[in-house]
């Protein structure tokens, strides 16, 4: 994840060297020389989040939702903004028609790949069930998050099937909101879970708990500040770019902290005396 962030940052900075100004949002760089970098990074992050096994059922579902959202944001770009900063390597205007024509075929390719993947997973689970090895029971939080995930997937598929023009218009914005919301929800869930670990089984549990809660509240405060600015004065200029960068850096900090926290004991279930909390 860190490598992908560095790659995007390098692409954006290199684009700025030849352009007179910064773009208004990360997604706007889709129409600049950083086009391939932005798309590749979102596709890679989406795949990473989907295949990564979260340390809890809830985190696993939230990261899968973030992964699907990242894939959607990559292949369904927002329209070319009117305030696009001019640059010598910006994509030509006639590229927009090509991008629009490629949206739905690319979305269907992702949908088919995800569908086949889930069919394979369910087939393996069914085979194991028949062999007397039923899947582990999910905690209440994992069940709720899974129901919300599939509700979103069904609504998205309905929009794709019956309202394709509406899907193309709103999919990118919806994916961005779901992506950031998944990040924030993941940090809060982890902070809650870590606070209920047995300190005798989790080294530096109190310190990690404070760090997780700090990152979670910082991400929520950042989102609230962005919404306040948007309502009061609009996200003109570079406010959108700054907000996205801040939230991504905050989640990256969470990711690094959790990697260190789980380095020796990747399964949090072993850290509880009376069983994991419902959010798990």
Name the phi and psi angles at 87, rounded to 5: -150, 150
Residue in this structure with the two tokens 């405060």, named with its chain if needed = 221
Query: Residue 272 in contact with residue 22, Cβ under 8 Å?
Result: no
Quick one: CA dihedral 118, 180, 262, 253, positive or negative?
positive
pLDDT at position 266 over 70: yes
pLDDT of res. 270: 75
Token pair for residue 205?
A: 């549990």
Token pair for residue 217?
A: 């509240």
Burial 138-167 (b: 16+ CB within 10 A, else e): bbebbebbbeebeeebeebeebbeeeeeeb
Specify the higher pLDDT residue, 240 or 195: 195
Residue in this structure with the two tokens 């959010």, named with its chain if needed = 279
State whether residue 31 is helix, strand or coil: helix
Token pair for residue 187?
A: 């940090």
Q: Provide mean pLDDT across the span 242-250.
A: 88
Specify the higher pLDDT residue, 18 or 280: 18
What pLDDT band is residue 231 in, cutting at 50, 70 and 90?
low
**pLDDT tens for each residue of 141-157:** 888 999 999 999 999 99
pLDDT at position 232 over 70: no
**pLDDT tens for each residue of 96-140:** 888 888 999 999 999 999 999 999 988 888 888 887 777 777 778
**pLDDT tens for each residue of 48-91:** 999 988 878 888 999 999 999 999 999 999 888 887 888 888 88
Query: Residue 13 in contact with residue 231, Cβ under 8 Å?
Result: no
Domain boundaries, given as residue ranges, for the chain: 2-271
**pLDDT tens for each residue of 158-205:** 999 999 999 999 999 999 999 999 999 999 999 988 888 877 777 788
pLDDT of res. 152: 96
What pLDDT band is residue 235 in, cutting at 50, 70 and 90?
low
pLDDT of res. 233: 57
Q: Provide mean pLDDT across the span 265-273.
A: 76
The Cα 244–Cα 183 span in angstroms is: 12
Token pair for residue 146?
A: 């899974």
Q: Is 71 exposed, middle or buried (0-12, 13-18, 19+ CB in 10 A)?
A: buried
Tell me the pLDDT of the chain averaged across its residues. 87
pLDDT of res. 271: 80
**Global confidence as pTM:** 0.89
What pLDDT band is residue 237 in, cutting at 50, 70 and 90?
low
């Amino acid at each position: 994840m860190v490598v992908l962030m560095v790659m995007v940052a390098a692409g954006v900075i290199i684009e700025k060297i030849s352009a007179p100004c910064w773009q208004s949002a990360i997604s706007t760089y889709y129409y600049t020389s950083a086009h391939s970098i932005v798309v590749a990074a979102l596709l890679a992050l989406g795949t990473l989040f989907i295949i990564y096994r979260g340390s809890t059922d809830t985190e696993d579902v939230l990261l899968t939702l973030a992964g699907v959202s990242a894939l959607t944001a990559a292949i369904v770009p927002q329209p070319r903004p009117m305030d696009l900063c001019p640059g010598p390597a910006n994509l030509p205007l006639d590229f927009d028609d090509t991008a629009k024509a490629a949206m739905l075929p690319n979305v269907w390719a992702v949908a088919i790949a995800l569908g086949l993947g889930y069919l394979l997973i369910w087939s393996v689970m069914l085979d194991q069930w028949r062999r007397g090895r039923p899947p582990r029971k999910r905690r209440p939080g994992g069940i709720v998050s899974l129901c919300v995930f599939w509700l979103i997937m069904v609504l998205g598929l309905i929009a794709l099937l019956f309202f394709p023009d509406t899907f193309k218009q709103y999919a990118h914005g919806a994916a961005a909101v779901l992506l950031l919301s998944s990040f924030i929800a993941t940090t809060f869930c982890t902070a809650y879970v870590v606070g209920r670990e047995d300190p005798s089984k989790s080294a530096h549990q109190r310190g990690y708990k404070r760090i997780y809660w700090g990152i979670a509240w910082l991400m929520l405060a950042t989102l609230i500040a962005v919404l306040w600015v948007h309502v009061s004065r609009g996200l003109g200029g570079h406010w959108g770019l700054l907000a996205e960068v801040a939230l991504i850096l905050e989640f990256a900090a969470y990711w690094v902290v959790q990697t260190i926290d789980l380095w020796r004991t990747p399964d949090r279930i072993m850290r509880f005396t009376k069983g994991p909390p419902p959010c798990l």
